Amino acid sequence: MKGLKLSRVLTYVGAVLMALWILVPIWLIAVSAFSTRQGIFDFPKALLPNPFSADTMSFFLGATNVLPSAGRSVVVALITIVISTLIGAPAGYALARFNFRGRDVFRLAIVSTRAFPIVILSIPIAVAYLQLGINDNVFSLALMHCALALPFTILVTSSVFAGVPKDLEEAAETLGCSPLQAFMRVVLPLALPGLAAATLFTFVLSWNEVFASVILTSRNRTLPALLVAQLDESPLNYKYAGGFFLLAPSMVFMLFIRKYLFTLWGRVSR
Amino acid sequence: MTSRRTNLTPFLLVAPALVFMAIFFAYPMVEAFGLAFRDNDTGALTLNYFQKMVSDVQFQPALTTTLLLIIILIPVQFAVALTMALLVNAKLKGASLFLYIYAIPLAVSELAAGIVWFNIFTNNGFLNSLLVQFGLIERPFLFLSYQNQGWLILAVVLAEAWRATSIIMVILVSGLQSIPSDYLEAAEVFGADQFRKITKVILPLLRPSLQVALILRTILAFQVFGVALAVAGSGMSLLAGEAYKWYYSIRNPNVAAAYASVILILSIASTVVFLVGLRSKNGEAL
């Protein structure tokens, strides 16, 4: 009995240690991002910003190109969401509802493109964009991000639609709805929360993407592309504020997505 | 009439995705080899770009460092991910809070993760500060100097393990949840302790999840880019970073594509190794 209790306590200790492994580095970047310029160069360092100051963040946000780039990142992510949902959701629905020829092959193709090296896709696409004269714009970059997001969108929407009982859809059709009406009025409302999580996930994917963004843009940078391209010459306070600004949304996003983590990844992995 | 329509609908629904994937997956994949192995002007097959890549001073270090990074990184990540997954699955109070915290890095960009760990390892960073305050060293140690490749790699491994372990954790948790509790109860009845339960029951049943996670993580580890650039700057060469440099700074897309094809070949090779090496008895894979 005593042994059981001890192992329980150890389990909690382990769980807390693991949580600290994740949280401490986040805390430290927050400390740096909310210190003064002087505070960042202080040594040894304090574990609280001393004094707490928004100077570093406002210096970063006020720097040339930062806000326009952040805006562009949002635009690229939104276009990515629209296109990947328009293309991916129907395919996901087909996977969930129909038993068609080549379904398994299609599914396997999607599953295996999920881990496709972005480095391989980006370089030939960049060359093609240059030849077509459509490089360095948000729409072209969003198409590339769509390619990354599409496998996820298809698999996730397919598992979301599979979670909506087929009976309901058939009942609606029996009661006189056309297939499209049945989908719009019955399936879509029920699938909406899952679809929203998938959408949020696509946003994160695009907001975070670095390699394709820096290869495919030159003047119209997204935020990660801007930060990477300037990494060598940017001062510490700019770097830390930038790192924190990129990271901050992820904690909020995860709050919304966490319920769907296993829909997003559990099913996806099989 | 009806049967004909139901036959066509799924194909119409799938068609846009197929077309898109042909353009953005199939074409670039073939074209990566085209750029790497065909002469820009004549279009004839050539090994020039490939040779140019191989004879570059950075090629050898980039290849070895990338492989070394993966060999260290993957076991660390799986140990941490398995620990997290077992903890999440241990029915603790606040399990959902722990799951949330462990999952945060899933949404963190590799660039942000790199900056987070740069903040710790840099000259006047938190690690040096801690070591000096405890009197372990007198002056800050240059962890991220080009001369200290070992520390550079360690810092990148930690940063990448911190960022990219959540995804493995989530895959493993969902694998764990699909293990019937009867099996564990049976093991208990036969007197298995926690360690034996893990090694004899849980791990074998987790094999499909482990396989998927291994393939996914290894392929992604071949492309480590933002993390390394933020932590180590130009002090460390990796395959993806070289591809970027050749495309962006040197403006030679052919050599960049040669690097890309090396990454592609290594990714395919590692996938095959994991598929064959971890084949489960009933032959189910991916």
Are A211 and B226 contacting, i.e. CB atoms less than 8 angstroms apart?
yes
ipTM: 0.91
User: Does the predicted model carry a pTM greater than 0.95?
Assistant: no
Q: Is A133 left (phi over 0), alpha (psi -120 to 50) or beta?
A: left
- Chain B: residue whose CA lies nearest to A14: B87
- Return the H-helix or E-strand segment holding A19: helix A2-33
Mean local confidence (pLDDT), B173-182: 86
C-alpha dihedral (A196, A202, A203, A204), degrees to nearest 10: 110
Tell me the two tokens of residue A128. 């093609």
Rounded distance between C-alpha atoms, residue B58 and residue B168, angstroms: 31
- Chain A residues with CB under 8 Å of B96 CB are 258
- Tell me which residue of B243, B237, B239 sits closest to B255, measured CA to CA: B243
**Quick check: A128 and B31 CB within 8 A?**
yes
Give the CATH architecture of domain A64-266. Orthogonal Bundle (1.10)
The answer, yes or no, to whether residue A121 has pLDDT greater than 70, is yes
A-B contacts at Cβ under 8 angstroms? 289
Chain B nearest CA to A81, separation (Å): 14
Alpha carbons within 13 A on the beta-carbon side of B213: 27
Owner of token pair 């290849």: B63
The minimum CA-CA distance between A77 and chain B, rounded to whole Å, is 14
Average pLDDT on A239-244 reads 96
Q: How confident is the model at residue A260 (pLDDT cuts 50, 70, 90)?
A: confident
- Confidence class for position A268, pLDDT limits 50, 70, 90: very low
Instruction: State how far the Cα of B24 lies from the Cα of A43, in Å rounded to an integer.
Output: 49
Q: At A77, which helix (H) or strand (E)?
A: helix A66-97
**Residue B1: what pLDDT?**
41
CB contacts, 8 Å: A247 with chain B = 108-109, 112-113, 116
Angle at which helix A236-257 crosses helix A2-33, to 10 degrees, equals 130
Q: What is the mean pLDDT of chain B?
A: 89
Tens of pLDDT, residues B192-217: 888 888 888 888 888 888 888 898 89
pLDDT exceeds 80 at position A265? no
Q: C-alpha distances in angstroms, B123 versus A16, A226, B126, B151?
A: 29, 24, 9, 13
A251 touches chain B (CB under 8 A): yes
Q: Supply B87's token pair.
A: 């903890």
Q: Does B284 touch chain A (CB under 8 A)?
A: no
pLDDT score for B207: 87
Cis peptide bond upstream of A44, omega within 30: yes
Q: First and final CA of chain B: distance in angstroms? A: 38
Rounded to whole angstroms, the Cα distance separating B82 from A175 reads 50
Assess B250–A contact: CB distance below 8 Å, yes or no: no
B285 — pLDDT class (breaks 50, 70, 90): very low
What pLDDT, on the 0 to 100 scale, is given for residue B275?
86
Cβ(A209)–Cβ(A149) under 8 Å? Answer: no
For an interface test with A, which of B89, B115, B275 has the most A Cβ atoms less than 10 Å from its Cβ? B115
The torsion angles phi and psi of A240, rounded to 5 degrees, stand at -65, -45
Contact by Cβ (8 Å): B13, A95: no
Contact between B248 and A19 using a beta-carbon 8 Å cutoff: no
Binning chain A into helix, strand and coil, the percentages to the nearest 5 are 80, 0, 20
Answer for the pair B182, B92: CB distance below 8 angstroms, yes or no: no
Say how far apart CA A10 and CA A4 lie, in whole Å: 10
Q: Of A109, A77, A114, which is closest to residue A202 (Cα–Cα)?
A: A77
Surface of A (132-171) touching B: CB under 8 A: 143-144, 146-147, 150, 154
Q: Report the C-alpha gap between A246 and A112 in whole angstroms.
A: 29
For B180-191, write each residue's pLDDT tens digit.
Answer: 888 888 888 888
Helical axes B59-88 vs B48-55, angle rounded to 10° = 80
Q: How far is CA B55 from CA A88, B60, B64, B80, in A?
A: 43, 9, 15, 38
What are A187-196's pLDDT values in tens digits?
889 888 888 8
Chain B contact for A249 (CB, 8 A cutoff): yes
Are B223 and A28 an interchain contact pair (Cβ–Cβ within 8 Å)?
A: no
A130-134, A219-223, B175-179: segment of lowest average pLDDT:
B175-179
- H-run or E-run covering B59: helix B59-88
Q: Do B260 and A120 touch (CB under 8 A)?
A: yes
How far from chain centre, in Å, is Cα B283?
25
Instruction: Kindly report, residue by residue over A45-54, the tens digit of the pLDDT.
Output: 888 887 899 9
Q: Sorting pLDDT into bands at 50, 70 and 90, what band is A270? A: very low
**3-state secondary structure (DSSP) of residue B38:** strand
| pLDDT score of A34 | 95
Query: Per-residue b/e over A30-53, b at no fewer than 16 CB within 10 Å?
Result: bbbbbbbeebbeeeebeeebeeeb
Q: Which of A136, A248, A81 is nearest to B109 (CA)?
A: A248
CATH 3.40.50.300 holds for B46-277:
no
Of A26, A34, A25, A24, nearest to A60 (Cα)?
Answer: A34
Chain A 37-96, residues with CB within 8 Å of chain B CB atoms: 41-45, 86-88, 90-91, 93-95
CA distance B211 to B271: 9
pLDDT confidence band for A269 (50 / 70 / 90): very low
Rounded to an integer, what distance in angstroms lies between the CA atom of residue B69 and that of residue B146? 16
Summarize pLDDT for B100-119 with one digit per residue, the tens: 999 999 999 999 999 999 99
Neighbour tally for B261: CB within 10 Å: 22
Question: How far is B117 from B196, CA to CA, in rounded Å?
Answer: 36
Rounded CA-CA distance B271/B17 in Å is: 24
Angle at CA of residue A217, ends A212 and A222, nearest 5°: 80
Chain A contact present for B256, CB below 8 A: yes
Type of residue found at B186: A
